[in-house]
Amino acid sequence: MASPKELNKENILIRELHEKDIQMIVESFAVIGWNKSYELFNNYLNESTKGIRKIWLAFFQGNFAGYITLSYQSLYIHFKKKDIPEIMDLNVLPCFRKLGIGSLLIHTAEKEAAVLHKTVGLGVGLYTGQDGGYGAAQTLYIKLGYIPDGQGITYDYIECIPGQYYRLDDDLVLWLTKELK
């Protein structure tokens, strides 16, 4: 594998999802203990054919490295009200992190969003953990120019109420936006 200094666009291919890719993606994540179901990617592919979502895969030196999606119909109420597309489900396999692949995937989604929108948004979890949790993503999003949308946090897309208790899991999210050029 190339070191970050050797990374260049010839080492990375980003392309849209094809049906034949789904089993390979599921197996790649199963190897690291992440449950990414065949149905999830089949739904993404169906949404893509309907124009609801786009999904891109990243390959590093021919090996599947990760993926990202762009949903044109966010479930987050503040994005929905303002017609802000949502970058969702950025995942880079741990062995391919710190190579710039996540940034390239985000830039790909931003470029697509900019065709019809002035702003793009995303949500990020609030915890770190043994596998790093969301700490690296939080840092990456800030470095790429994302800022909190000023609406606080949500749990399962519902605004959190001060004084209430919420489970610290993937559904506890801070929402960020970025103005596109």
pLDDT digits (tens, 9 = 90+) for 114-162: 999 999 999 999 998 776 689 889 999 999 999 999 999 999 999 999 9
Residue whose entry in the numeric block shows the structure tokens 């017609």: 83
Q: Identify the residue with better confidence: 3 or 98.
A: 98
Domain boundaries, the chain: 4-179
pLDDT digits (tens, 9 = 90+) for 11-31: 899 999 999 999 999 999 999
Q: Which is it for the CA torsion 14, 146, 153, 135, positive or negative?
A: positive
pLDDT digits (tens, 9 = 90+) for 43-55: 999 999 999 999 9
pLDDT band at 9 (very low <50, low <70, confident <90, very high): low
Residue whose entry in the numeric block shows the structure tokens 């880079």: 92
SS3 content of the chain, % helix, strand, coil (to 5): 30, 30, 40
pTM across the whole model: 0.90
**Span 4-179: which CATH code?**
3.40.630.30
